[in-house]
């Protein structure tokens, strides 16, 4: 059973991923995979777990200092200040597993007292100044797809929603290949705007359809083609950030020697220092026809890792998509697309590409066509040398088609009482094997749990690992169960030398590990920065463990 009718103003209408009327099928294969892997009884597929169809109740009246609402309305227009319960509930969280769980359980926690939609940068500055004067907590929001609990206001305050008005490209500089973009602009709108002029933004996270430029920058995000285009921090040349101390504006120099990099202080700060009002981003010529698929099966994960590492270190151009599934994810993928167990599979197995060790690489070069062709040819030779078996373009094309779909299915799986979560980390090539083994070990120590892992972003010196965890919920104590399990996984990531995140960010979810990860002195530096720019501690209090919130 899949829910296809989402009542308006229901909890589900808040947590449902994506457009209200877009759904994807949980087909028999996926259902079978879940049932078999998780040892889930068949009735779980009809007894839905808190589907959240009930109406969101009213919230207590906003608790703000006297005349604050009037001042806000005077600043941005009454139509741009919302205090109704539903709008505030919508802004109480992002899309972390815990967020979805809480909403399913009918809990609205961390909601703002008011949602404000500024129309201009000056209005952003005015709201920040007012909140600074009155010590009101403030969280900038855009598409609200944070998966790190980056948007909550546990003690109330204001959610500054930038998506309604601050959602335009201000300037395209075709000489310098840069665009000045407002933070509330959504990914697809930005990309379409650029495509119409012959350019691409190069940044396509899985959340692309429901992500915004400001979120990309604030969370230090990465797109699925980042191996070619770089992460967002490689694309941001300059930005403007309205801090309680005033506007921090960095010039879009291609490089400079001007002391500490203030742009890279704001990138990833997740609203703790101020509100990003503009970013100057690199853009590239849009050449969709020169995406050249390149997929291989390897006999082992190690062979695939060596291939990607060698490719990146060879200095022969970088593919855009560059993914390597570990044996468990490879087997799941082959099962889900109906390949596993067929006659071709049996041939594969006979020549040494066996379930439990074989690993699938899905990649594509892109950019300048001649260059993409040359890179693909060289990559081909490297893969063959590592025992890679070329599989043709199909696997890449199939992946490409559904590359933004997984978050939709997550809602359906949660209906069935299935916990699905993702954790991602980065490390040097030499640390990668131990992180992969160590984290997998913890995840697989939970009975009947799938751990599908891939590399999806590669560099000369290292890569990321992206773990997808699928397990049956503890229906009685789903929150406690998740927290305990999640905590043990994060412990393992840190212990084995991985970063707390490669591109999701830290928010409140990873804040308990943050000081240890970066060290007390770096954390002190962050506090010093924060005190200088936000002396009253109003900006996203609680994120990164800074302040109380």
Size of residue set near a second copy by CB under 8 A: 95
Site for a second copy in 301-330 (CB under 8 A): 309, 313-317
Is 509 a binder of a second copy (CB under 8 A)? no
In the bound state with a second copy, the residue whose beta carbon lies nearer, of 60 and 512, is 512
Q: Does 499 bind a second copy (CB under 8 A)?
A: yes
Q: How far is the CB of 514 from a second copy (least distance, A)?
A: 8
Q: How far is the CB of 263 from a second copy (least distance, A)?
A: 9
Q: How far is the CB of 481 from a second copy (least distance, A)?
A: 26
Judged by CB under 8 A, which of 404, 459, 466, 467 binds a second copy?
A: 459
Contact 422, 469 (CB under 8 A): yes
533 contributes a contact to a second copy by CB under 8 A = yes
Nearer to a second copy, 146 or 331 (CB): 146
Question: Closest separation between CB of residue 332 and a second copy, Å?
Answer: 26
- By beta-carbon proximity to a second copy, the closer residue of 476 and 520 is 520
- Encoded one letter per residue, x for contact with a second copy by CB under 8 A and - for no contact, window 129-168 reads ----------------------------------------
Q: Residue 102 belongs to what H/E stretch?
A: helix 97-104
DSSP states of 86-116 as a string?
A: HHHHHTS--S-HHHHHHHHTT---S--SEEE
Length of the chain: 549
CA-to-CA separations, 523 to 248, 511, 519, 530, in angstroms, rounded: 21, 11, 6, 10
Q: Which residues of 234-326 form beta strands (DSSP E)?
A: 236-243, 246-249, 275-282, 284-285, 292-298, 321-325
Q: Which is nearer to a second copy, 88 or 282 (CB)?
A: 282
The reply to whether 518 sits near a second copy by the rule CB under 8 A is yes
Restricting to residues 26-85, name those near a second copy by CB under 8 A: none
Nearer to a second copy, 167 or 306 (CB): 306
Q: How far is CA 108 from the centre of its chain?
A: 23
- What are the tokens at 300? 């082992």
Q: Shortest CA distance to 239 belongs to which of 295, 279, 182?
A: 279
| Helix extents (H) in 402-477 | 406-415, 432-444
Nearest Cα neighbor of 149 from 110, 192, 199 is 110
State which of residues 3, 265, 340, 389 lies at the interface with a second copy (CB under 8 A).
Answer: 265
CA distance 411 to 416: 9
Q: Which is nearer to a second copy, 69 or 463 (CB)?
A: 463
Q: Are 372 and 317 in contact (CB under 8 A)?
A: yes
Task: Mark the segment that binds a second copy (CB under 8 A) among 50-58, 320-328, 367-375, 413-421.
Answer: 367-375
Is 501 one of the binding residues for a second copy (CB under 8 A)?
yes
Question: Is the distance from CB of 239 to CB of 165 less than 8 angstroms?
Answer: no
Q: Does 488 bind a second copy (CB under 8 A)?
A: no
Tell me the closest approach of the beta carbon of residue 368 to a second copy, in angstroms.
5
Q: Quick one: how many helices (H) and strands (E) in the chain?
A: 21, 18
Nearer to a second copy, 384 or 532 (CB): 532
Q: Give, for 249, the enclosing helix (H) or strand (E).
A: strand 246-249
Q: Which is nearer to a second copy, 32 or 512 (CB)?
A: 512
How far apart are CB 16 and a second copy at their closest, in Å? 26
Q: What angle do CA 397, 399, 405 make, to 5 degrees?
A: 130
Using rule CB under 8 A, residue 247 touches a second copy = yes
CB 392, CB 360: distance < 8 Å: no
From 112-120, 385-393, 404-412, 455-463, span contacting a second copy (CB under 8 A): 455-463
370 binds a second copy (CB under 8 A): yes
Pick one of 284, 302, 380, 405: the residue that binds a second copy (CB under 8 A): 284
Counting contacts by CB under 8 A, is residue 262 touching a second copy? yes
- Produce one character per residue of 264-290: b if its CB has 16 or more CB atoms within 10 Å, e if not: ebbbbbbbbbbbbbbbbbbbbebeeeb
Nearest distance in Å: CB 163, a second copy: 21
Minimum CB separation of residue 255 from a second copy in Å reads: 5
Applying CB under 8 A, the span of 183-191, 332-340, 348-356, 523-531 interacting with a second copy comes to 523-531
The answer to whether the beta carbons of residues 366 and 319 sit under 8 Å apart is yes
Q: How far is the CB of 220 from a second copy (least distance, A)?
A: 4
By CB under 8 A, is residue 427 in contact with a second copy?
A: yes
Among 378, 380, 405, 536, binds a second copy (CB under 8 A): 378
Rounded Cα distance, 185 and 166, in Å: 7
- Residue 423's alpha-carbon distances to 30, 143, 219, 224, 361, in angstroms, are 21, 20, 15, 16, 20
Decide: is 252 part of the binding site for a second copy (CB under 8 A).
Answer: yes
Q: Are strands 450-455 and 462-472 parallel, antiparallel or unpaired?
A: antiparallel
Handedness of CA 227, 229, 233, 234 (dihedral sign): positive
Identify the three-state secondary structure at position 329. helix
Among the residue ranges 7-15, 16-24, 129-137, 240-248, the one whose residues contact a second copy (CB under 8 A): 240-248
Asked if 520 interacts with a second copy (CB under 8 A), we say: yes
Structure tokens at 425: 């980390």
Minimum CB–partner distance for residue 202 and a second copy (Å): 11
| Binding to a second copy, residues 183-222 (CB under 8 A) | 219-222
Residues near 288 by beta carbon (within 8 Å), at least 6 away in sequence:
none
Closest CA to 138 of 110, 112, 117: 112
**Nearest residue (CB) to a second copy, 14 versus 147:** 147
């Amino acid at each position: 059973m899949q829910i296809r009718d989402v009542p308006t103003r229901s909890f589900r209408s808040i947590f449902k991923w994506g457009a209200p009327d877009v759904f994807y099928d949980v087909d028999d294969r996926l259902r079978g995979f879940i049932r078999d892997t998780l040892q889930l009884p068949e009735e779980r597929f009809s007894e839905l777990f808190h589907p959240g169809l009930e109406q969101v109740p009213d919230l207590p009246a906003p608790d703000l200092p006297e005349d604050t609402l009037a001042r806000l309305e005077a600043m941005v227009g009454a139509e741009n200040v919302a205090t109704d319960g539903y709008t505030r509930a919508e802004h109480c969280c992002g899309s972390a597993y815990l967020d979805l769980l809480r909403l399913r359980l009918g809990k609205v926690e961390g909601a703002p007292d008011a949602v404000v939609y500024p129309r201009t940068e000056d209005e952003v500055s005015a709201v920040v100044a007012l909140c600074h004067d009155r010590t009101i907590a403030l969280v900038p929001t855009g598409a609200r797809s944070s998966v790190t609990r980056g948007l909550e206001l546990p003690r109330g305050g204001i959610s500054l929603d930038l998506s309604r008005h601050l959602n335009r490209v201000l300037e395209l500089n075709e000489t310098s290949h840069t665009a000045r973009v407002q933070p509330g602009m959504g990914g697809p709108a930005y990309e379409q705007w650029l495509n119409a002029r012959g350019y691409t933004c190069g940044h396509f996270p899985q959340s692309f359809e429901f992500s915004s430029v400001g979120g990309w920058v604030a969370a230090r995000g990465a797109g699925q083609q980042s191996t070619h285009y770089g992460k967002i921090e490689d694309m941001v040349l300059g930005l403007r950030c309205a801090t309680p101390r005033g506007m921090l504006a960095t010039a879009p120099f291609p490089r400079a020697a001007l002391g500490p990099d203030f742009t890279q202080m704001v990138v990833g700060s997740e609203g703790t220092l101020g509100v990003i009002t503009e970013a100057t981003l690199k853009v590239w010529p849009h050449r969709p026809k020169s995406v050249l698929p390149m997929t291989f099966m390897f006999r082992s994960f190690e062979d695939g890792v060596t291939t990607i590492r060698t490719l990146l270190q060879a200095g022969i151009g970088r593919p855009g998509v560059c993914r390597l599934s570990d044996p468990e994810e490879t087997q799941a993928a082959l099962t889900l697309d109906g390949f596993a167990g067929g006659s071709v599979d049996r041939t594969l197995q006979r020549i040494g590409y066996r379930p439990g060790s074989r690993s699938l690489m899905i990649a594509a070069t892109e950019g300048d066509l001649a260059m993409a062709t040359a890179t693909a040819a060289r990559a081909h030779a490297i893969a063959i040398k590592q025992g890679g078996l070329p599989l043709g373009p199909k696997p890449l094309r199939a992946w490409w088609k559904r590359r933004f779909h997984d978050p939709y299915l997550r809602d359906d799986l949660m209906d069935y009482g299935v916990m699905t979560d993702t954790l991602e980390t980065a490390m040097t090539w030499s640390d990668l094997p131990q992180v992969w083994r160590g984290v997998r070990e913890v995840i697989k120590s939970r009975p009947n749990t799938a751990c599908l892992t891939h590399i999806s972003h590669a560099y000369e010196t290292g890569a990321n690992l992206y773990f997808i965890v699928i397990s049956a919920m503890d229906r009685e104590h789903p929150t406690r169960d998740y927290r305990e399990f999640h905590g043990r996984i994060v412990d393992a990531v840190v212990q084995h030398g991985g970063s707390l995140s490669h591109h999701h960010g830290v928010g409140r979810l990873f804040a308990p590990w943050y000081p240890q990860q970066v060290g007390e002195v770096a954390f002190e530096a962050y506090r010093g920065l924060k005190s200088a720019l936000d002396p009253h501690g109003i900006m996203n209090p609680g994120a990164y463990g800074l302040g109380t919130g």
